[in-house]
Structure 1
């Protein structure tokens, strides 16, 4: 199914989809930098304010494998408008929330539709181009995810400090409102022409290659977030960077992450299995160097730039493995990616947190290495299962 004809029109619509992902991820992650202000505003502790982040992620993890499946038969434009519209409303409610409970509810409710929008955006981007070019199109949508994760947090913090908390919340609302209008005006109707039964989609869970991909994604994301969740702490305590320098490093990390998206899309398009095979080994090597040179500022700046590239590679590769293992159920498989990647984030962060308490901040690199090696073992299983699956598909077409 092609969204529209014309290369420029397709590129513009993919940009809109990416901007929508930026708005949603910005709403999720941007609030991290203003938690102290939120705690002060509502008269709660910072740990209590942290529920705005943790419960949001939990809602995403719970709904990721369910709601994309339930919405898979509906017009994709309508589904995206519903999800983005709910985020706009929740952002506005958060601005005027009279107490913390209302603010928490306003955060949790739209979080359930987070994986719905993201999975539909990935599916719509992939379906707008040929199957061979799908990884590149998805990589461009991933740029919105990277921008939301990395750039959204310092922007929201800057607005809250130099204006006020309400204006920072307004920033979230404006980004999502612009996306809503762009989808409404410029994205054509996207009906699902071949509606699949829920049973036929769930049936992909019987495939061994799907589970190899799922475990690969869980371990890779665990390895990524085992270190990234403590990025600022590592640079502050090991490299002894100032808070202002760390903020600049986050921006550098985000900018090189966007470059990583483009490179990942190109490499996955040209040679996906080889890219997936090499990736965790390269990342393990980079963690070893980060561990050895962590106290040296100049080498760390260069390593952080490379780290950003590898980080977004992991997101692209994980999404590719899950969706390519079940092309017959794109919405459901994209939902599985969102759900299990969030599970990986939770596992990696929790395990590293436990090791930090017992062995110090530098131990996060070793935790990351262990998870990446487990991801590599999953990829070793994924590759032959994928080739076997491709042979079966080719035989069916030949018959």
Structure 2
């Protein structure tokens, strides 16, 4: 595997740390900025909004630039936004830097996925994407607890400075690791890129992407609150249980990346079936700490194992025209990231308790299984329509000698037979 793939994964780890670290910093940020905690929480929503909109827009805006140039520009903007966020005294400027930084990060995600696919053979795409996207998983294990630690002991601004430093290191790595040449071959225009979105199978893959991610996140979004409010664990145990989720996610995406290319639909089916079972088990055993702690890493493992397979399905529908369609995978994942807490919150607000969010996750996983089955059916039908019809059995085409032999009379054939004897 080219080391550029690992550099891209590190860059996404640094940016993913910024995406998730605010969950542990909101009280300190709200107090210093003079806003309420819910208002400070809108900084998370701003980031998610920027991720949804930024990937397709920036992927198209930089379509004719070499990919390394685009990636360096996105990282440069991301660093500047975090430096500005660390220095700003006001909430409004910080909100703007979060939005603009997320847009730049979304552009990086979209172009990085296409660049990773181009750096490896077709049968290694799933593994390459797993390494790149795996940076997000590592950020949940190391980045979020690290950001929370820095915020508690050095102030929340130190977390922003740390992310800026990590992304500056990633910028140097991208400049050294990725080829600087222009994109190979002619660059498709906007019309061709938009036409690449017309495939039914592609939109089924997008729907699968949103549902697979949201099915896992519906449970995870309210896991911390459920652990203290329903399971009965102390707050000191929550980071450790969330870290188990991250470890399971890392294992899952590693295994999924290795098998996704050869067994795409099977990976999706097993992954979503596992999320159904893990989420249902958490909902049923929410009052039992041993049950919840045992199932949390399985939830992350099964959920993230599907991520490389989804990307493989998307790129299977694309030829050389894939920048926009590939970038939209980032948008669909963040649609799921937005949809999950909303649906989980609805059932909790309806009075069903925190375990009901896990039931919502199980329901979305079942819907994802239906989407996987639909995708498999459409894929099989498309393959059948492209397969040439089997040749009908037909008599062999006679050669000139055979035609002459068949037209010869019995006496001619007898003479020829005698002449051939020694």
Alignment TM-score, normalising by the size of structure 2: 0.87
Q: Report the CA distance between 1:90 and its aligned residue.
A: 0.8
Alpha carbons 2:271, 2:303 under 8 Å: kept: no
Deviates more, 1:311-320 or 1:161-170: 311-320
Which residue does the alignment assign to 1:384? 377
Identify the residue that residue 121 of structure 1 maps to in structure 2.
112
Q: Of residues 298, 307, 316 in structure 1, which corresponds to 2:308?
A: 316
Structure 1 counterpart of 2:203, from 205, 211, 222:
211
In structure 1, distance between residues paired with 2:152 and 2:136: 24
Q: Does 1:144 align with 2:167?
A: no
**Per-residue CA shift, 1:116-173, capped at 9, x if unaligned?**
1112212222221110111011111121011223431111110111222222221111
Q: Does 1:160 align with 2:134?
A: no
Cα pair 1:94 1:103 within 8 Å, conserved: yes
* Aligned mate of 2:359, from 359, 366, 376: 366
* Structure 1 position 51 matched with structure 2 position 42: yes
Q: Distance in 1 between matches of 2:327 and 2:103?
A: 11
Which residue of the partner structure matches residue 253 of structure 1?
A: 245
Q: Secondary structure at the match of 1:269?
A: coil
Classify the secondary structure of the residue corresponding to 1:188: coil
Residue 388 of structure 1: CA displacement?
Answer: 3.7
Structure 2: which 5+ runs fail to align? 389-422
Q: 3-state SS of the aligned residue for 1:74?
A: coil
Aligned to 2:420: none
The correspondence of residues 1-399 of structure 1 with structure 2, limited to 5 A, is 7=1, 10=2, 12-194=3-185, 195-358=187-350, 359-390=352-383
TM-superposed CA distance for 1:257, in Å, is 1.2
Kindly name which structure, 1 or 2, has the bigger radius of gyration based on alpha carbons: 2
**Separation of aligned partners in 2, 1:22 and 1:72:** 24
What is the CA-CA distance between 1:297 and the residue it aligns to?
1.9
2:256 touches 2:307 (CA, 8 Å); kept in 1?
no
Deviation at 1:221, TM superposition (A): 2.2
TM-score normalised by L of structure 1: 0.92
Per the TM alignment, residue 205 of structure 1 is displaced from its structure 2 partner at its CA by 2.2
Between the aligned partners of 2:118 and 2:248, the Cα distance in structure 1 is 27
d(CA) in 2 for partners of 1:257 and 1:292? Answer: 22
Which residue of structure 2 aligns with residue 4 of structure 1?
none
What SS class does the counterpart of residue 151 from structure 1 fall into? Answer: helix
1:15–1:141 contact (8 Å) kept in structure 2: yes
Change (3 A) 1:121 1:392: farther
Q: How far apart in 1 are the matches of 2:229 and 2:38?
A: 22
- Over aligned residues, Cα RMSD in angstroms? 1.8
- The answer for unaligned runs of 5 or more in structure 1 is 1-6
Residue 92 of structure 1: SS of its match in structure 2? helix
Deviations 1:290-342 (A, max 9, x none): 22222222232221121221121233333333332334433222211111121
State whether residues 77 and 183 of structure 1, in contact with CA within 8 Å, keep that contact through their aligned partners in structure 2.
yes
SS of match in other structure, 1:329: coil
Residue 229 of structure 1, CA deviation: 0.9
Aligned residues: 386
Write the distance in 2 (CA, Å) between the matches of 1:296 and 1:279. 24
